[in-house]
Structure 1
Amino acid sequence: MKLLIAAGGTGGHIFPGVSVAEAFAADKGNEVFFTGTPYGLEERLIPGYGFRLIKIEAKPFTGRSPADKAKTVLAVVKGTTQAIRVIKTEKPDAILGMGGFTSVPVVLAGLLLRKPCFIHEQNVIPGMANKLLARKVKATFISFDDTAKYLRARDVIHTGNPIRRNMRGKRGEKPDRNFNIFVFGGSRGARSINNAVLQLLPYLEAFKQTVLYHQTGGEDFERIKGGYEGFGTSHQVFAFTDEMEKYYNLADVVVARAGASTIFELAYFGKPAILVPYPFSAGGHQWKNASYVERAGGGHVIGNDELSGERLYTAITELRENPEELGRMSENIRSIYVEDAEQKVVRGIQARVS
């Protein structure tokens, strides 16, 4: 079987797509390739995982003026026309859209050509594109069980969100008795979180056996690294890491944004979280993801406009001084994780393609 996966724009769409591709390609006789844009992270990431990437035009849905809407329609038409050519040339047996604007023209082209089409929705609240496409595709795979009630879909399957293969099987016991805090804002960092951590440092001086692991992102690294000078709290500050599993295993608590991939990685490692949703995420989806975790008892939510060193200190102190509550939160967030999500997606496609 030959599978086309449309994924791009952000790592939140790309990494789950790569996980599905790896699971699909593990079966002999199967072939998988990707479509994406020439300007997203997919241009670097997908070939780096050994998969072929065919580029088409796709643009996010932005603006409300008639001119903006006209540009969006023209971009979708152009991308769909390109995707039709790709599908006719490559002849995939099935098409999987991983959400976001890069999926739209490819799934539309597949539907026009009567190919079996599927989509995966990473977030609690589906985006506009997936809400519309869910009505037409063979099946919609969802990460969070709550998502089903927001869809009018022919077939909804709760698979969970696939996490990166290099993380699976890497859960381990915490190797020390320190209270460890892991902070990150995604691969590019998050300036508001970085600033709040600098404000937090004076408060942490009173804590013994506390270590801060801080991924700053490349743009903010030198400034934040310099901000730690003069403070006694043990720390490691780095721009980026390819060893996320190492820091998840070290952490007692994690401070992070609330993208679906981050939440499912936290769930896999069972790490209580202080979530700071990105305020400009499409449709406010990060806030809704974070609220789901908080309702499940796996984390606390701090709004980006409320974030400060004092707020972080209050939340961290509460967890540090209540190890039983920390343990309950660990179990609660772990309950969100769905084992073998990528295999569930693969089996869901194979069972519905004759």
Structure 2
Amino acid sequence: MERSSAHRTPGDPVAGMALPVYIVCGGTGGHLAPGIATAQRLIRAGISVELVVSEKEVDSRLLESYPDLNYRRVKGAPFRLSPKGLFLFVLHNTRSFISGFQYLRKNPPAMILAFGGFISVSYVIAAWLLKVPIVLHEANRVVGRSIRFLSGMADTVFLPDGVSLAGIEARRIRRLGMPLREEVKHVSKETIRREMDIPHHAKVLVVVGGSQGAKALNDWVEETHKSLASDGIWIILVTGPGKNQMPELKVLQSDMGVDVEIRTFAFHRSLHELFSCADVVLSRAGAGTVAELVCCLAPSILVPFPYAADDHQLANAQDLERRGGCIVIDQKNSSNLYREVLDLIFNDWLLGRMRQNLRRLNHGDAAENLTKQLIESYYPGHLRATAVENSTEAKEAVNG
């Protein structure tokens, strides 16, 4: 679907500084977190931003940490083939489209940035009809259904290196990784373990199932935590909202008579701290999780969600495994998981080699890069104003 020539061009005065960026990014942590990351950089650059998120609990929990961000909630439902699922998809997304169209017509933005997911569809279609510039971002190694469907309406589609999208001219595709929030950084193991009161010499396994948790991984921890503790392995488990079956703290003893802790959280806002603390991370393989593992130099065993759309988690995991940053286990082979954890967590040479590989995969700040490209394309006047301001400050400093 080609864009009409009546759409605003990046240099059009109507796309000036007074107009905000709307970032459509809710539904899962993998969609919301890069939206927050980009919003942080845009706001720091002086650009007004409003997030469009879902009404799901995962969005509410994550946004609690960002009270200064403007956002609006919209109803939506993912596509399902069952009669009930299809009915809810049509109902909620039609309502979202109508409200979105009315809102965009009354409060036009400079552009729409969408990170995929079910709520992107209604807002992007509304923006396209209103001739609002559209930018899409896909972080997974397989392009999602919503991005594939909406790509013909977009000025630009950001994709990871090596990922293709049929039917889109090369001039509209740009390469970019996963934007990470400003606070997501690698923390030295010594520092974070001191803050978390975990012995520096302890072996620590962190288990997470993505923003919504993973029952299979939670069950595995419940079944094996006593054996792992006997081997002296501390466990930090993030179950996901409403999926916590373990006590928040359980203290056991290893075969050597040393106290070992199993700590359980329903939700954790600073997974980067847990990843930095870990010797090994056991996790699903969403794009956001993989990007944070790379950033935090955390060796991992990835168990892709077997029912993910287009098997994108498997593609994410296999890409990281090819680069030497993880081990991939099929959920059907979870009976081998205990042995894989032991083999990796006590192999310091292999852990060190994996951290070296992960360090080579850190390619700068994707959120900063994305923000720079958005400002260059849709806020050229902002760049000129910033250049003048910087030049004036420099002259004042020289003249003292």
TM-score by length of 1: 0.87
Aligned positions of 1:13-162 closer than 5 A? 13-28=31-46, 30-39=47-56, 41-43=58-60, 45-46=62-63, 49=66, 50-63=68-81, 72-73=89-90, 75-142=92-159, 144-147=160-163, 149-154=164-169, 155-162=172-179
Kindly indicate whether residue 307 of structure 2 is the aligned counterpart of residue 274 of structure 1.
Answer: no
Match of residue 264 from structure 2: 238
Identity across aligned pairs (percent)?
Answer: 28
Larger mean CA deviation between 265-274 and 173-182 belongs to 173-182
Q: CA deviation at 1:137?
A: 0.7
Question: Equivalent of 1:324, from 345, 349, 352?
Answer: 349
Q: CA deviation at 1:156?
A: 1.9
How big is the alpha-carbon RMSD for the aligned residues of Structure 1 and Structure 2? 2.7
Larger mean CA deviation between 320-329 and 262-271 belongs to 320-329
Contact 2:42 2:49 in 1 (8 A): yes
1:183 and 1:116 mapped to 2: Cα distance? 40
Match of residue 178 from structure 1: 202
The amino acid that maps onto 1:190 is A
Larger mean CA deviation between 18-27 and 40-49 belongs to 40-49
Q: CA deviation at 1:158?
A: 1.9
Change (3 A) 1:247 1:335: same
2:122 and 2:64 mapped to 1: Cα distance? 21
1:133 and 1:32 mapped to 2: Cα distance? 22
Structure 1 residue runs of 5 or longer lacking an equivalent are none
Match of residue 262 from structure 1: 289
Q: CA deviation at 1:101?
A: 0.8
1:160 and 1:37 mapped to 2: Cα distance? 24
Contact 1:99 1:121 in 2 (8 A): yes
Question: Equivalent of 1:213, from 236, 241, 252?
Answer: 236
Q: CA deviation at 1:234?
A: 1.2
Change (3 A) 1:52 1:172: same
Q: CA deviation at 1:87?
A: 1.2
The amino acid that maps onto 1:215 is V
Match of residue 315 from structure 1: 340
Contact 2:325 2:355 in 1 (8 A): yes
Instruction: Tell me the number of residue pairs that the alignment of Structure 1 and Structure 2 aligns.
Output: 345
Change (3 A) 1:213 1:35: closer
Change (3 A) 1:315 1:90: same
Match of residue 247 from structure 2: 225
**Structure index of larger Rg:** 2
Tell me the alpha carbon deviations over residues 28-58 of structure 1, each in whole angstroms, 9 at most, x when there is no partner. Answer: 3x21112233446435544752222233343
The SS at the match of 1:140 is strand
TM-score by length of 2: 0.77
Aligned positions of 1:341-352 closer than 5 A? 341-352=366-377
1:52 and 1:282 mapped to 2: Cα distance? 30
The amino acid that maps onto 1:314 is R
Structure 2 residue runs of 5 or longer lacking an equivalent are 1-16, 194-199, 381-400
Tell me the alpha carbon deviations over residues 167-223 of structure 1, each in whole angstroms, 9 at most, x when there is no partner. Answer: 23x432445233222112234432211222233335435635x432223345443x4
Question: Equivalent of 1:204, from 201, 209, 228?
Answer: 228
2:94 and 2:229 mapped to 1: Cα distance? 58
Question: Equivalent of 1:298, from 316, 325, 344?
Answer: 325
Contact 1:8 1:36 in 2 (8 A): yes
Change (3 A) 1:191 1:26: same
The amino acid that maps onto 2:222 is L
